[in-house]
Structure 1
Amino acid sequence: MKIVLSEDNEILRKSLSFFLTSKGFSVDQFSDGQEALEAIKQNSYDLILTDINMPGISGMEITQYVRKNISPDIPIIIFTSSGVEQTELDSFDIGANEFIAKPISPAVLLIRINKLLNIRL
């Protein structure tokens, strides 16, 4: 399973990438939203993980682009450090499948990924 991980916090991005790789996933990681979107346009991914606030373009913009131009079905999980309820509602309105507030528990993330990808543990 191939995942794109778009997160500008280097420590979080690298630790999540390491964790997911150790669980058998192939992870392409990006610190810039525009770079992540270019990779999404050029490659086929099974899942998109993106922070909401990214340099280049935001996770919301990535989600909107994917939903309108690539696939209505690819699972998308949005991360944010914002505790604002409206942000979460907006994420679902534009097509995100899951919304995870930071700090992110890798174990909880894995359960949500497996659920979205219909992977049995």
Structure 2
Amino acid sequence: MKLLIVEDNRALVANLFAYFEARGHILDAAPDGATGLRLASDNHYDAIVLDWTLPRMDGVQVLQELRRSVRKDVPVLMLTAKGEIADKIEALRIGADDYLVKPFDLAELEARLLAQIRRASGRVTDARLQICDLVMDLSTAEVTRDARPIALQPATRRLLEVLMRAAPALVPRERLEEVLWGDDPPDRDLLRSQMHVLRRAIDAPFASKLLHTVPRVGYRLAATATPDDRENE
């Protein structure tokens, strides 16, 4: 998953990066509310971890703006030292999906974020992602189409999961490159090669095509193509 951490405590941010990056997640960080809101507006994130007390714009203001005009659907988990029931109710009332009081366990934070991401996607039921007859079992990492097993390498499977979670929306090339290579993508267009492998696996043996390309922009999974889509690029 790709996370945005909006938190002004540098030591805590360093701990979050060390834990989540070691487990294969991608993180961005903002030291204040205004920067966090800008990053949330300019980028796609699977979830946002938002501190309550922040410089320039506090967490409540950031959350209200997110829900009003920027990312209405992104899961937001608030981190705070405020532990009173009234504070929790207020956070949930203004649009937080979850609430965790400092200090907290990193494994619990990860589990809560993954649960919120699953709930945010209407395509996830019983730990499964499904687009038409294409199914990914998140508990076993098995992929099938029309009940036929599809063998994928781990990198290609990660790309497919990101596309399935976003479907039918377009996923920018930059987002997919981050999934594979983080902040240091290769100079050569290796993403195109990876997408070619994925297309051969999930589309080539079947009559209908699910993986579509918007040249130089990104990729999407959908039952039907749009005028901008290409199926073989």
TM-score normalized by the length of structure 1 = 0.92
Aligned length: 121
Match of 1:82 in 2: 82
Question: Using the alignment, how far apart are the partners of 2:87 and 2:96 within structure 1?
Answer: 11
Q: CA deviation at 1:84?
A: 2.2
What whole-Å deviation, never above 9, does each CA across 1:22-78 have from its counterpart, x for those lacking one?
121110011111111111111111111010000111111111111111233210000
SS in 2 for 1:44: coil
**1:5 touches 1:17 (CA, 8 Å); kept in 2?**
no
> Which is greater in Rg?
2
- RMSD, matched Cα: 1.4
SS in 2 for 1:114: helix
Is 1:108 matched with 2:105? Answer: no
Question: Using the alignment, how far apart are the partners of 1:71 and 1:115 within structure 2?
Answer: 19
Percent identity among equivalent residues? 27
TM-score normalized by the length of structure 2 = 0.50
**1:5 touches 1:30 (CA, 8 Å); kept in 2?**
yes
* Mean CA deviation greater in 49-58 or 81-90: 81-90
What whole-Å deviation, never above 9, does each CA across 1:99-118 have from its counterpart, x for those lacking one?
00000210100110111122
From the two aligned structures, give the one with the greater helix fraction: 1
Match of 1:63 in 2: 63
> Structure 1: which 5+ residue stretches go unaligned?
none
**2:48 touches 2:77 (CA, 8 Å); kept in 1?**
yes
4+ long deviations beyond 3 Å: none
> Structure 2: which 5+ residue stretches go unaligned?
119-126, 128-137, 140-233
* Greater RCO, CA 8 A, separation 6+: 1
Question: Using the alignment, how far apart are the partners of 1:7 and 1:69 within structure 2?
Answer: 21
Question: Using the alignment, how far apart are the partners of 2:110 and 2:37 within structure 1?
Answer: 23
